[in-house]
């Protein structure tokens, strides 16, 4: 989920602390959603929203590095076009019907995002051919990051145990659904020129190059100097440090470890084998599969 800003964020957290774990997720059309962050009226309002061709739209399965990309895109828009995106998280399904009205009247270019499965992205984003930047991460680190997020964030139910959460993740019984369903749906759109997939690992490998790809994709020219500054300000340590100001101790919930390979500290041999088999079955031989460099980052 996206990094909320301090005030509304803390009120959502308070709501979470007052709610029973079993009430924190609900199912719609077979997929779990967060009762507090994405109540049914938000999903309804999102469905009808009017996208614009020039919206800056970022999509990611939860815990794939969405907030990292939000930090990057905000800095690109500010440096290149002097656009200050609002403080609220850009996630469209977090918007109440009232906030949706504000968004509908906001000037272009708007910065928006979602964790929705591509089939649930509001239709107008497709009819308007809004460009979509999709962030993915290797599934082993994604499930580890998701596990910690469940346990450190009162909005979502605590994971009973690592083993239970791993098994829920593999069966898609987690908020926003199955990682592999999302990946398979994006795989079908890899050749669409309006879609750019970037991975968490690519950003780790070469952050300036990743930032440049994002800026070029959305048509925000940057000078070398701007690029260097943005890269310096969006490293894990810079962002974690900065989050202390807005989120206090919760900063560490959104900016936890920021590494590739933490899965090795969590997975059993059997879990590793199960994930390898699932990857092999679903994504081996695909473009997205190749881009995820599974053999390098997950073996």
Catalytic residues: 115
With a CB cutoff of 8 Å and minimum separation 6, the contacts of 277 are none
Structure tokens at 234: 């969006």
* Residue selected from 172, 208, 258, 289 as contacting ligand A3P according to rule CB under 6 A: 258
26 binds ligand A3P (CB under 6 A): no
Number of residues near ligand A3P (by CB under 6 A):
20
Q: What is the DSSP string of 142-168?
A: HHHHHHHHHHH-TTSPPPS-HHHHHHH
Whose Cβ is closer to ligand A3P: residue 218's or residue 255's?
A: 255
Minimum distance, C-beta of residue 69 to ligand A3P, in the bound complex (Å)? 8
Whose Cβ is closer to ligand A3P: residue 54's or residue 258's?
A: 258
66 binds ligand A3P (CB under 6 A): yes
Rounded CA-CA distance 231/235 in Å is 7
Whose Cβ is closer to ligand A3P: residue 108's or residue 228's?
A: 228
Instruction: Look at residues 116, 109, 88, 82 and name the one whose alpha carbon lies nearest to residue 100.
Output: 88
Rg for the chain, CA atoms, rounded: 18
Whose Cβ is closer to ligand A3P: residue 57's or residue 255's?
A: 255
* Residue selected from 21, 173, 262, 276 as contacting ligand A3P according to rule CB under 6 A: 262
Q: What is the DSSP string of 180-229?
A: HHHHHHHHTTTT-TTEEEEEHHHHHH-HHHHHHHHHHHHT----HHHHHH
145 binds ligand A3P (CB under 6 A): yes
236 binds ligand A3P (CB under 6 A): yes
Rounded CA-CA distance 93/82 in Å is 26
153 binds ligand A3P (CB under 6 A): no
Rounded CA-CA distance 174/287 in Å is 25
Cross-strand pairs, 62:
none
Cross-strand pairs, 112:
57
Minimum distance, C-beta of residue 141 to ligand A3P, in the bound complex (Å)? 6
267 binds ligand A3P (CB under 6 A): no
68 binds ligand A3P (CB under 6 A): yes
Q: Are 49 and 120 in contact (CB under 8 A)?
A: no
- Which stretch, 12-20, 92-100, 103-111, 233-241, contacts ligand A3P (CB under 6 A)? 233-241
Q: Which residues contribute to the site for ligand A3P (CB under 6 A)?
A: 60, 62-68, 141, 145, 148, 234-236, 239, 255-258, 262
């Amino acid at each position: 989920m996206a990094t909320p800003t301090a005030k509304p964020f803390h009120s959502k957290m308070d709501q979470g602390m007052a709610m029973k774990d079993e009430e924190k997720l609900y199912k719609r059309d077979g997929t779990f959603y967060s009762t507090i962050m994405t109540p049914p009226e938000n999903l309804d309002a999102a469905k009808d929203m009017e996208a614009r061709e020039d919206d800056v739209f970022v999509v990611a399965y939860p815990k794939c590095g969405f907030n990292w990309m939000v930090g990057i895109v905000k800095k690109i828009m500010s440096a290149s076009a002097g656009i200050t995106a609002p403080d609220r998280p850009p996630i469209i399904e977090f918007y109440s019907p009232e906030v949706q009205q504000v968004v509908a009247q906001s000037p272009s270019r708007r910065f928006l995002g979602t964790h929705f499965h591509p089939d649930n992205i509001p239709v107008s984003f497709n009819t308007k051919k809004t460009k979509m930047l999709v962030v993915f991460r290797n599934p082993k680190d994604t499930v580890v990051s998701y596990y910690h997020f469940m346990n450190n964030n009162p909005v979502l139910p605590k994971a009973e145990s690592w083993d239970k959460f791993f098994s829920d993740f593999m069966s898609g019984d987690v908020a926003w659904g199955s990682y592999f369903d999302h990946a398979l749906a994006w795989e079908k759109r890899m050749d669409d020129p309006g879609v750019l997939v970037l991975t968490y690992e690519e950003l780790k490998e070469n952050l300036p190059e990743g930032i440049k790809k994002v800026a070029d994709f959305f048509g925000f020219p940057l000078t070398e100097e701007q690029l260097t500054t943005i890269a310096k300000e969006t490293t894990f340590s810079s962002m974690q440090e900065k989050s202390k100001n807005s989120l206090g101790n919760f900063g560490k919930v959104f900016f936890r470890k920021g590494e590739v390979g933490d899965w090795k500290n969590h997975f059993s041999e059997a879990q590793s084998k199960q994930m390898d088999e699932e990857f092999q079955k679903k994504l081996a031989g695909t473009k997205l599969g190749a881009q995820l460099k599974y053999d390098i980052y997950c073996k």
